[in-house]
Structure 1
Amino acid sequence: MEEIIIRKAMPEDLPVLLLAEQELINAERPFDPTLVPGEFYYYDLEEMIESEDAEVLIATWDGLFAGCGHASIRPGKPYNNFDRQAFLGFMYVVPEHRGKDIIQRIIGELKKWTEKKGLDEIRLQVYADNIAAIKAYEKVGFEKLLIDMRLK
Protein backbone atom coordinates (compact mmCIF):
# COMPACT_ATOMS: atom_id res chain seq x y z
CA MET A 1 0.00 0.00 0.00
CA GLU A 2 1.29 3.44 -0.93
CA GLU A 3 1.93 5.76 1.98
CA ILE A 4 2.21 9.54 2.04
CA ILE A 5 4.31 10.96 4.85
CA ILE A 6 4.56 14.68 5.54
CA ARG A 7 7.63 15.64 7.56
CA LYS A 8 9.81 18.59 8.47
CA ALA A 9 12.66 19.16 6.02
CA MET A 10 16.18 18.54 7.28
CA PRO A 11 19.47 20.05 6.06
CA GLU A 12 20.26 16.80 4.24
CA ASP A 13 17.09 17.33 2.13
CA LEU A 14 18.54 20.49 0.60
CA PRO A 15 19.73 18.90 -2.70
CA VAL A 16 16.27 17.51 -3.56
CA LEU A 17 14.60 20.74 -2.41
CA LEU A 18 16.84 22.84 -4.66
CA LEU A 19 15.91 20.63 -7.61
CA ALA A 20 12.22 20.95 -6.72
CA GLU A 21 12.60 24.73 -6.58
CA GLN A 22 13.98 24.75 -10.13
CA GLU A 23 11.09 22.54 -11.28
CA LEU A 24 8.64 24.96 -9.63
CA ILE A 25 10.30 27.93 -11.34
CA ASN A 26 10.15 26.15 -14.70
CA ALA A 27 6.46 25.36 -14.16
CA GLU A 28 5.75 29.01 -13.37
CA ARG A 29 7.71 30.51 -16.28
CA PRO A 30 4.73 30.34 -18.70
CA PHE A 31 2.68 32.42 -16.24
CA ASP A 32 5.26 35.18 -15.72
CA PRO A 33 7.10 36.88 -18.59
CA THR A 34 9.14 38.93 -16.10
CA LEU A 35 11.16 36.00 -14.77
CA VAL A 36 14.81 36.26 -15.71
CA PRO A 37 16.24 33.52 -17.96
CA GLY A 38 18.47 30.87 -16.48
CA GLU A 39 18.71 29.49 -12.99
CA PHE A 40 17.75 31.57 -9.96
CA TYR A 41 16.20 30.86 -6.57
CA TYR A 42 13.04 32.17 -4.93
CA TYR A 43 14.06 31.16 -1.41
CA ASP A 44 17.00 30.72 0.92
CA LEU A 45 15.94 27.18 1.75
CA GLU A 46 18.91 26.43 3.97
CA GLU A 47 18.09 29.42 6.17
CA MET A 48 14.38 28.57 6.18
CA ILE A 49 15.03 24.99 7.29
CA GLU A 50 16.99 26.29 10.29
CA SER A 51 14.67 29.21 11.15
CA GLU A 52 12.18 29.23 14.02
CA ASP A 53 10.06 31.60 11.92
CA ALA A 54 9.65 29.22 8.99
CA GLU A 55 8.56 25.64 8.45
CA VAL A 56 9.61 23.69 5.36
CA LEU A 57 7.79 20.41 4.83
CA ILE A 58 8.45 17.47 2.55
CA ALA A 59 5.96 14.90 1.34
CA THR A 60 7.24 11.43 0.55
CA TRP A 61 5.34 8.68 -1.27
CA ASP A 62 6.65 5.24 -0.41
CA GLY A 63 9.85 6.88 0.81
CA LEU A 64 10.51 8.96 -2.33
CA PHE A 65 10.21 12.74 -2.61
CA ALA A 66 6.72 13.69 -3.80
CA GLY A 67 6.31 17.36 -2.91
CA CYS A 68 7.01 20.23 -0.58
CA GLY A 69 5.77 23.52 0.81
CA HIS A 70 6.66 26.11 3.40
CA ALA A 71 5.20 28.68 5.76
CA SER A 72 7.04 31.71 7.05
CA ILE A 73 6.07 34.43 9.48
CA ARG A 74 5.76 37.89 7.98
CA PRO A 75 4.68 41.15 9.57
CA GLY A 76 1.28 42.57 8.78
CA LYS A 77 1.00 46.01 7.20
CA PRO A 78 0.18 48.99 9.43
CA TYR A 79 -3.32 49.02 7.95
CA ASN A 80 -4.02 45.29 8.55
CA ASN A 81 -6.06 44.12 11.53
CA PHE A 82 -3.33 41.59 12.37
CA ASP A 83 0.30 42.09 13.44
CA ARG A 84 1.75 38.96 11.86
CA GLN A 85 0.73 36.52 9.18
CA ALA A 86 1.85 33.21 7.81
CA PHE A 87 2.89 33.26 4.17
CA LEU A 88 2.76 29.95 2.32
CA GLY A 89 4.96 29.21 -0.65
CA PHE A 90 7.16 26.63 -2.38
CA MET A 91 4.10 24.50 -3.09
CA TYR A 92 5.33 21.83 -5.44
CA VAL A 93 4.24 18.28 -6.24
CA VAL A 94 6.13 15.91 -8.51
CA PRO A 95 4.01 15.56 -11.70
CA GLU A 96 3.22 11.86 -11.28
CA HIS A 97 1.77 12.55 -7.81
CA ARG A 98 -0.47 15.48 -8.70
CA GLY A 99 -4.15 15.00 -7.95
CA LYS A 100 -3.42 12.88 -4.86
CA ASP A 101 -4.18 15.65 -2.32
CA ILE A 102 -0.52 16.03 -1.36
CA ILE A 103 -0.67 19.83 -1.32
CA GLN A 104 -3.81 19.68 0.78
CA ARG A 105 -2.00 17.47 3.30
CA ILE A 106 1.03 19.79 3.34
CA ILE A 107 -1.20 22.84 3.85
CA GLY A 108 -2.99 21.02 6.66
CA GLU A 109 0.30 20.48 8.48
CA LEU A 110 1.39 24.07 7.82
CA LYS A 111 -1.90 25.31 9.27
CA LYS A 112 -1.12 23.37 12.46
CA TRP A 113 2.30 25.05 12.58
CA THR A 114 0.75 28.51 12.14
CA GLU A 115 -1.70 27.81 14.97
CA LYS A 116 1.19 26.82 17.27
CA LYS A 117 2.86 30.12 16.35
CA GLY A 118 -0.30 32.02 17.31
CA LEU A 119 -1.12 33.14 13.77
CA ASP A 120 -4.63 33.21 12.39
CA GLU A 121 -3.99 34.95 9.06
CA ILE A 122 -2.56 32.79 6.26
CA ARG A 123 -1.77 34.16 2.82
CA LEU A 124 -0.23 32.86 -0.40
CA GLN A 125 0.28 34.07 -3.93
CA VAL A 126 -0.69 32.22 -7.07
CA TYR A 127 -0.57 33.21 -10.72
CA ALA A 128 -4.03 34.20 -12.00
CA ASP A 129 -3.74 31.81 -14.96
CA ASN A 130 -2.62 28.84 -12.84
CA ILE A 131 -6.13 27.41 -12.63
CA ALA A 132 -5.06 24.01 -11.26
CA ALA A 133 -3.24 25.62 -8.32
CA ILE A 134 -6.12 28.00 -7.64
CA LYS A 135 -8.53 25.05 -7.49
CA ALA A 136 -6.22 23.18 -5.11
CA TYR A 137 -6.00 26.18 -2.78
CA GLU A 138 -9.75 26.81 -2.90
CA LYS A 139 -10.27 23.14 -2.01
CA VAL A 140 -8.63 23.77 1.39
CA GLY A 141 -10.51 27.01 2.01
CA PHE A 142 -8.46 29.82 0.47
CA GLU A 143 -10.44 32.65 -1.12
CA LYS A 144 -9.34 35.09 -3.81
CA LEU A 145 -8.52 38.48 -2.34
CA LEU A 146 -6.40 40.61 -4.65
CA ILE A 147 -5.28 40.54 -8.25
CA ASP A 148 -1.78 41.91 -8.91
CA MET A 149 -1.77 43.71 -12.24
CA ARG A 150 1.06 45.07 -14.37
CA LEU A 151 1.57 47.35 -17.32
CA LYS A 152 4.67 47.18 -19.47
Structure 2
Amino acid sequence: MNIEIKNITTRSATNNDLPQLTQFLEELVEAERPFDPTLIDGKIVYYDIQELILDKKTEVLVAEYDNKVIGCGYGQIRAGKVYEKHKFFGYLGFIFVKPEFRGNGISHLLIKDLKNWVLSKGITEVRLEVYHEHEAAIKAYEKEGFKKLLTTLRCDIG
Protein backbone atom coordinates (compact mmCIF):
# COMPACT_ATOMS: atom_id res chain seq x y z
CA MET A 1 0.00 0.00 0.00
CA ASN A 2 1.56 3.29 -1.08
CA ILE A 3 0.79 6.17 1.24
CA GLU A 4 2.29 9.59 1.71
CA ILE A 5 4.45 10.02 4.80
CA LYS A 6 2.78 13.39 5.45
CA ASN A 7 -0.41 11.43 6.24
CA ILE A 8 1.35 9.47 9.02
CA THR A 9 1.47 10.82 12.56
CA THR A 10 3.26 9.58 15.65
CA ARG A 11 2.13 9.96 19.23
CA SER A 12 2.87 8.56 22.67
CA ALA A 13 1.22 5.20 23.24
CA THR A 14 -1.49 4.84 25.87
CA ASN A 15 -3.09 1.89 27.61
CA ASN A 16 -5.82 2.03 24.94
CA ASP A 17 -3.15 0.91 22.43
CA LEU A 18 -2.26 -2.23 24.42
CA PRO A 19 -4.34 -4.70 22.36
CA GLN A 20 -2.77 -3.54 19.08
CA LEU A 21 0.73 -3.34 20.57
CA THR A 22 0.36 -6.83 22.01
CA GLN A 23 -0.55 -8.08 18.52
CA PHE A 24 2.48 -6.29 17.05
CA LEU A 25 4.74 -7.91 19.66
CA GLU A 26 3.39 -11.36 18.77
CA GLU A 27 4.01 -10.68 15.07
CA LEU A 28 7.52 -9.38 15.82
CA VAL A 29 8.41 -12.51 17.78
CA GLU A 30 7.19 -14.72 14.93
CA ALA A 31 9.16 -12.69 12.38
CA GLU A 32 12.33 -13.05 14.48
CA ARG A 33 12.00 -16.78 15.21
CA PRO A 34 13.85 -17.86 12.03
CA PHE A 35 16.86 -15.79 13.11
CA ASP A 36 17.14 -17.18 16.65
CA PRO A 37 17.39 -20.92 17.35
CA THR A 38 17.55 -20.20 21.10
CA LEU A 39 13.93 -19.04 21.37
CA ILE A 40 11.60 -21.39 23.18
CA ASP A 41 8.52 -22.82 21.47
CA GLY A 42 5.15 -21.30 22.21
CA LYS A 43 4.18 -17.81 23.20
CA ILE A 44 7.00 -15.43 24.08
CA VAL A 45 6.66 -11.97 25.57
CA TYR A 46 9.87 -9.97 25.23
CA TYR A 47 8.69 -7.24 27.59
CA ASP A 48 5.71 -5.83 29.44
CA ILE A 49 4.36 -3.13 27.11
CA GLN A 50 2.23 -1.48 29.79
CA GLU A 51 5.30 -1.23 32.02
CA LEU A 52 7.17 0.46 29.15
CA ILE A 53 4.32 2.94 28.64
CA LEU A 54 4.36 3.85 32.34
CA ASP A 55 8.16 4.01 32.67
CA LYS A 56 9.49 7.59 32.93
CA LYS A 57 12.75 6.54 31.20
CA THR A 58 10.89 5.14 28.19
CA GLU A 59 8.90 6.68 25.35
CA VAL A 60 6.63 4.29 23.43
CA LEU A 61 5.42 5.75 20.15
CA VAL A 62 2.75 4.56 17.79
CA ALA A 63 2.43 5.53 14.13
CA GLU A 64 -1.07 6.20 12.90
CA TYR A 65 -2.63 6.34 9.46
CA ASP A 66 -6.30 7.13 9.00
CA ASN A 67 -6.76 6.91 12.81
CA LYS A 68 -5.42 3.34 12.88
CA VAL A 69 -2.22 2.25 14.63
CA ILE A 70 0.09 0.81 11.96
CA GLY A 71 3.48 0.82 13.67
CA CYS A 72 5.35 1.36 16.90
CA GLY A 73 8.70 1.62 18.61
CA TYR A 74 10.20 2.65 21.90
CA GLY A 75 13.15 4.67 23.10
CA GLN A 76 14.61 4.09 26.53
CA ILE A 77 17.32 5.79 28.55
CA ARG A 78 19.85 3.24 29.78
CA ALA A 79 23.05 3.54 31.78
CA GLY A 80 26.32 2.95 30.00
CA LYS A 81 29.07 0.82 31.42
CA VAL A 82 31.63 2.52 33.67
CA TYR A 83 34.31 2.20 30.98
CA GLU A 84 32.23 3.72 28.16
CA LYS A 85 32.36 7.37 27.06
CA HIS A 86 28.63 7.91 27.47
CA LYS A 87 27.21 7.64 30.99
CA PHE A 88 23.77 7.16 29.43
CA PHE A 89 22.54 6.18 25.99
CA GLY A 90 19.24 5.87 24.22
CA TYR A 91 18.14 2.36 23.33
CA LEU A 92 15.59 1.78 20.57
CA GLY A 93 13.45 -1.33 20.43
CA PHE A 94 10.16 -2.80 19.26
CA ILE A 95 10.39 -1.05 15.89
CA PHE A 96 7.49 -2.62 14.02
CA VAL A 97 5.39 -1.63 11.02
CA LYS A 98 2.42 -3.65 9.79
CA PRO A 99 3.55 -5.58 6.67
CA GLU A 100 1.11 -3.87 4.30
CA PHE A 101 2.52 -0.44 5.26
CA ARG A 102 6.23 -1.26 4.98
CA GLY A 103 8.31 0.65 2.44
CA ASN A 104 6.57 3.96 3.08
CA GLY A 105 9.11 5.53 5.47
CA ILE A 106 7.17 4.75 8.64
CA SER A 107 10.10 3.17 10.49
CA HIS A 108 12.16 6.22 9.45
CA LEU A 109 9.55 8.50 11.03
CA LEU A 110 9.42 6.43 14.23
CA ILE A 111 13.21 6.31 14.53
CA LYS A 112 13.53 10.05 13.84
CA ASP A 113 10.98 10.91 16.50
CA LEU A 114 12.54 8.50 19.01
CA LYS A 115 16.00 9.96 18.34
CA ASN A 116 14.54 13.42 18.97
CA TRP A 117 13.06 12.22 22.26
CA VAL A 118 16.46 10.85 23.31
CA LEU A 119 18.11 14.15 22.31
CA SER A 120 15.52 16.06 24.38
CA LYS A 121 16.90 14.19 27.40
CA GLY A 122 20.40 15.53 26.68
CA ILE A 123 21.68 12.20 25.37
CA THR A 124 23.55 11.91 22.08
CA GLU A 125 24.24 8.16 21.80
CA VAL A 126 21.57 5.79 20.44
CA ARG A 127 21.85 2.02 20.15
CA LEU A 128 19.70 -0.91 19.12
CA GLU A 129 20.03 -4.63 18.57
CA VAL A 130 19.22 -6.56 15.43
CA TYR A 131 19.73 -10.17 14.40
CA HIS A 132 22.90 -10.58 12.35
CA GLU A 133 21.10 -12.42 9.55
CA HIS A 134 18.18 -9.98 9.36
CA GLU A 135 19.67 -8.15 6.38
CA ALA A 136 16.59 -6.06 5.56
CA ALA A 137 16.47 -4.62 9.08
CA ILE A 138 20.22 -3.98 9.10
CA LYS A 139 19.97 -2.07 5.81
CA ALA A 140 17.09 0.01 7.15
CA TYR A 141 18.98 0.87 10.35
CA GLU A 142 22.17 1.69 8.44
CA LYS A 143 20.13 4.15 6.34
CA GLU A 144 19.23 5.81 9.66
CA GLY A 145 22.91 6.26 10.53
CA PHE A 146 23.49 3.17 12.67
CA LYS A 147 26.79 1.30 12.35
CA LYS A 148 27.64 -2.23 13.42
CA LEU A 149 29.47 -2.29 16.73
CA LEU A 150 29.53 -5.76 18.27
CA THR A 151 28.67 -9.27 17.17
CA THR A 152 27.51 -11.91 19.64
CA LEU A 153 28.62 -15.45 18.85
CA ARG A 154 27.09 -18.63 20.24
CA CYS A 155 27.87 -22.32 20.11
CA ASP A 156 25.60 -25.18 21.08
CA ILE A 157 27.93 -27.73 22.69
CA GLY A 158 25.21 -30.10 23.94
TM range (shorter): over 0.9
Q: Give me the TM-score of the superposition, normalised by structure 1.
A: 0.96
Aligned with residue 81 of structure 2, among 69, 77, 81? 77
Of 27, 31, 40, 1:23 maps to 27
- Which residue of structure 1 lines up, in the alignment, with residue 152 of structure 2? 148
How far has the Cα of 1:105 moved from its partner? 0.3
Segments of 4+ in structure 1 off by > 4 A? none
2:136 and 2:71 mapped to 1: Cα distance?
Answer: 16
Deviation, structure 1 residue 78: 1.2
Identity %: 47
> 2:52 maps to what in 1?
48
Q: In the alignment, what sits opposite 1:63?
A: 67
C-alpha distance in 2 between matches for 1:29 and 1:69: 19
How many residues are treated as equivalent by the alignment? 152
2:138 corresponding residue in structure 1: 134
Shift of 1:47: 1.1
Corresponding residue of 1:100: 104
Q: Secondary structure of the equivalent of 1:58?
A: strand
| Alignment-derived partner of residue 14 in structure 2 | 10
Distance 1:104 1:43 in 2: 23
Take 1:135 and 1:4, find their aligned partners in 2: how far apart are those partners? 22
Partners of 1:12 and 1:105 in 2: CA distance: 22
Superposed CA RMSD in Å reads: 1.1
| Matched residue SS, 2:132 | coil
Please list every run of 5 or more consecutive structure 2 residues that lacks an aligned counterpart in the other structure.
Answer: none
**Any idea what SS the aligned residue of 2:40 has?**
coil
**Which residue of the partner structure matches residue 36 of structure 1?**
40
Q: Runs of 5+ in structure 1 lacking a partner?
A: none
2:47 and 2:61 mapped to 1: Cα distance? 14
Quick one: distance in 1 between partners of 2:119 and 2:95?
Answer: 19
Q: Distance in 2 between matches of 1:30 and 1:40?
A: 14
